[in-house]
Amino acid sequence: MASQIQVEVEFGHSGVVATPLGLGANAVGGYNLFPQLNDEQGLSVVRAALDHGIRLIDTAYVYGLGHSETLIGEAIQDYDRYSPSLVRVPTIIQPATGSSTTTRTF
């Protein structure tokens, strides 16, 4: 069995907790930067992190223009019900005009 991260930390005073170690998911679906990767490899990376107890996943729309978020959403479906502390970091997109900010979550 894989070793599990047992420690969780709180984000400020929000009541939201996650593991102090997270997964940076650029390579999960970021084909614009990692064209040699495929969906199955990306899903495997996310599932391995979750299997080892990681409950913080950082993603951004620019990681494959939303594809990273889609793959993470697919991978965590079987984990959410078992891990209420799973935290998904939302992406904040600043339009080129700078007129407004859009928050995208998955």
Residues with active-site annotation: 63
Taking the alpha carbons of 12, 17, 23, 25 in that order, is the dihedral positive or negative? negative
Q: How far apart are CA 40 and CA 3, in angstroms?
A: 23
Q: How far apart are CA 94 and CA 66, in angstroms?
A: 15
Tokens 């929000």 belong to residue? 14
